[in-house]
Amino acid sequence: FLSQHSHFSTVSDRVIQACDLRAACSAKMTSASSFVGKAFEKYFYDFSMYDQVFHKYVSSKGQYVALRHVAFAATGLLALVNYNFPFNPPFPTIGMCPSGWKGTFVCEPDKHKAMEMYKAWKAGVEYKEAAHH
């Protein structure tokens, strides 16, 4: 049972196991988690920026919250894309290709060919298309 449990353990479980619940480490864990908690609380409940600055530009507090939420989600999505780039997207790109990546695995519509091109790129060798008979 224990080995099965550790297989499914989360990152926080591993951190706690690694810390071995020493007093200094648990204090660090508490301060880190309380900081994250306070940051999220401030983000979700603090509208002082609306009252101080954004009320001049945004007509209502509800609209401000909606725009802030969209900005938060868009920033997270763009951060994930940038962190994982370069990759061949599984979603349709409607023929668009990032500048400088034309002719590479990033813009290759055929996924099998893209994988071969990626392997060659990763290995640092020139990609040569396999001869088809």
Per-residue confidence (pLDDT) for residue 94, from 0 to 100: 84
Is the confidence at residue 57, as pLDDT, over 60? Answer: yes
Contacts of 72 (CB under 8 A, 6+ apart): 43
Amino acid at 109: P
Is residue 5 situated within a structural domain?
no
> Is 81 domain-assigned?
no
Report the range out of 49-53, 90-94, 111-115 with the highest average pLDDT.
111-115
Residue 33, pLDDT > 80, answer yes
Domain annotation covers residue 97:
yes
Is the pLDDT score of 15 beyond 90? no
Identify whether 41 is part of a domain. no
Q: Which domain holds residue 123?
A: 87-132
pLDDT value for 119? 93
Cβ(54)–Cβ(64) below 8 Å: yes
Count: domains in the chain: 1
Answering whether pTM is above 0.75, one says no
Residue 112 forms part of a structural domain: yes
| Angle ∠(47,53,59) on CA atoms, nearest 5 | 80
Q: Residue 21: what residue type?
A: L
Residue 50 forms part of a structural domain: no
Cβ neighbours of residue 105 closer than 8 Å, sequence gap 6 or more: 86, 88, 114, 115, 117, 118, 121
- The residue whose two tokens read 């099998």 is 112
Q: Which among 31, 73, 65 is positioned nearest to 45, based on CA atoms?
A: 65
Tell me if 120 is assigned to some domain: yes
30 within a domain of the structure (yes/no): no
Of 12-16, 32-36, 105-109, the poorest mean pLDDT is in 12-16
